[in-house]
């Protein structure tokens, strides 16, 4: 069963219920953010970087610590190109299923992996996206207590089930608005199409007058 049709319905409800997360940018500006979860991946991520370079687009990557440790050279390449880096946990495990100490360790291990690969200090990696988009009020309380910033989404085309490039592109184009925060994946699930999908999406969105920004820039637009 695909849940893609439900996300546009859930998004405004969740945004109102949990306002202490970043769900999108301002609806007054045509800035949008492309974000990629579950990487870095040794094949999918370099292919994606070529597309982003071609259009001179800066994106935001939410990394799994285990994947950073498995592909540190790719991680450093992403960072050195000026893309924004956030946390997705050490492994792809839903945060509510982790006990407090395990959740804290997962985030800190990921920060350490990124520091070792990129020399990016942990204090500069404070954005966190929960795997599967799952969280509880307690999860958010802990993230804020530890001075992390929860980053969510407004456009989720469910590319991780590999419905096909054209399906993903169509879903994004139908849902995108000013301030949209778009979630795609460059990991093991969905990543095989991410470069092709992104290459199709960027010119279409540019033609519609959208400007691409990173997560760090999005709230200010």
Name the residues annotated as catalytic: 37, 185
- pLDDT for 220 equals 59
Following CA atoms 45, 105, 138, 184 in sequence, which dihedral angle do they give, to the nearest 10 degrees?
A: 0
Three-state secondary structure along 33-59? EEEEECCCCCCHHHHHHHHHHHHCCCC
What domains can you pick out in the chain, each with its CATH number?
4-220 (3.20.20.370)
- pLDDT for 62 equals 98
- pLDDT for 221 equals 46
Angle between helices 100-118 and 137-145 (to 10 degrees): 50
The residue ranges of DSSP E strands in the chain, in sequence order, are 31-37, 60-63, 84-87, 127-128, 149-150, 181-185, 211-213
pLDDT in tens, the chain (221 residues): 566 777 788 788 888 989 999 999 999 999 999 999 999 999 999 999 999 999 999 999 999 999 999 999 999 999 999 999 999 999 999 999 999 999 999 999 999 999 999 999 999 999 999 999 999 999 999 999 999 999 999 999 999 999 999 999 999 999 999 999 999 999 999 899 999 999 999 999 999 999 999 999 987 54
- pLDDT for 176 equals 97
Q: What are phi and psi of 86, to 5 degrees?
A: -135, 180
């Amino acid at each position: 069963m695909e849940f893609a049709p439900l996300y546009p319905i859930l998004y405004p409800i969740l945004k109102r219920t949990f306002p202490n997360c970043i769900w999108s940018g301002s609806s007054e500006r045509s800035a949008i953010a492309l974000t990629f979860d579950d990487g870095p991946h040794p094949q999918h991520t370099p292919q994606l970087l070529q597309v982003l370079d071609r259009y001179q687009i800066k994106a935001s990557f939410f990394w799994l610590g285990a994947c950073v440790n498995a592909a540190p050279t790719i991680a450093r390449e992403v960072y050195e190109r000026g893309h924004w880096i956030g946390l997705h946990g050490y492994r792809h495990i839903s945060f509510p299923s982790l006990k407090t100490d395990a959740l804290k360790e997962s985030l800190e291990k990921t920060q350490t992996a990124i520091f070792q690969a990129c020399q990016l200090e942990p204090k500069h990696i404070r954005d966190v996206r929960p795997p599967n988009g799952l969280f509880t009020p307690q999860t958010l309380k802990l993230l804020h207590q530890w001075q992390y910033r929860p980053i969510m989404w407004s456009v989720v085309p469910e590319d991780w089930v590999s419905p096909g490039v054209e399906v993903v592109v169509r879903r994004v184009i139908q849902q995108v608005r000013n301030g949209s925060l778009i979630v795609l994946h460059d990991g093991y699930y969905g990543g095989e199409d991410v470069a092709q999908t992104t290459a199709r999406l960027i010119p279409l969105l540019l033609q519609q007058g959208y400007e691409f920004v990173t997560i760090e820039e999005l709230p200010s637009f």
